Copies of this chain bind each other. A is one copy, B any other.
């Protein structure tokens, strides 16, 4: 029996999930839901977002590919009343409240929601959890070089900013010190490279304001460059990203250990699509176990990413 899939949202992530789902012979892509007037070059059926309730009984899992800023907080609870869902919600500080909200809805309506299922939060969360349990200390995460949506949004909220983007660049000295278990709190972990479009008369004010946004830029090495709108569009189209989690710690007798996890990708949405598509099987496994509610990657054993014979042979083939 194939798993019937729906995709909600048809931006970069939705398009990548479409291709990931189509390339998996266990999946049947039923429809893509969008508020916009879009077409699929693979001739996938396109439905208006409002019509999703008509697919109850025809779709097993809805993959939500909207943005964390506007879409997911609204759409996930709406759709989780009717379907099992997966999203890639990535606003770290809102994760606990989102989890609580979705857990209530999913339990009330007898569904499963896997939330925050990208690379960070997502598989990096698994790694941090594993590293902390083994090392008994906080693992250290570095991001970049790549665009940070949160920091870019913070820039764009400033008065007078017409557009902006922020690249996070890891401080290689901090990475080296983390590997040696010698990173002190006062060493900056990242550099913040900001590109901004604004009227020249506002440049000084805007640069000052950016560098003083608490939590995001204040106290961190930040560089602000003003560019043309055209240049900014080119910069925003760069989708490559990297990240790593490092845990260096001493065992009993003081013997040293290092654990490190790295990812790099040419396209952030394409890599994220590979992850979110892999977790569709987890929904099926949770359903078979009659579990309902909200789940993060931390709650899901990796064996749940496989079904049938492949799952039965995991010990033989992957242990």
| A-to-B contact residues, CB < 8 Å | 16, 19-20, 23-24, 92, 95-96, 99, 116, 121, 123, 125-126, 128-130, 132-136, 239, 249, 251-253, 255-267, 270-271, 273-275, 278, 281, 296, 298-303, 305-306, 314-316, 318-319
Contacts and interface: CB of A to CB of B under 8 A. Distances in A.
DSSP majority for the A interface? helix
B264 A257 contact: yes
A211 B221 CA distance: 57
A229 to B, nearest CB: 26
A211 to B, nearest CB: 28
A41 B205 CA distance: 66
23 contacts: A16-B251, A19-B253, A24-B136, A95-B315, A95-B319, A96-B315, A116-B319, A123-B134, A126-B130, A130-B305, A133-B305, A134-B274, A239-B255, A251-B267, A255-B266, A255-B270, A255-B271, A256-B265, A260-B260, A260-B263, A296-B315, A298-B303, A299-B303
A258 B77 CA distance: 33
Determine how many copies of this chain the complex contains. 2
A185 to B, nearest CB: 17
B265 A257 contact: yes
A20 B252 contact: yes
A252 B23 contact: yes
B251 A273 contact: yes
A25 to B, nearest CB: 11
Contacts of A265: 251, 255-258
Contact of A252 (B259, B270, B314): B270
A133 B278 contact: yes
Contacts of A306: 129, 133
A133 B264 CA distance: 17
A130 B263 CA distance: 13
A318 to B, nearest CB: 5
Contacts of A274: 134-135, 249, 251, 257
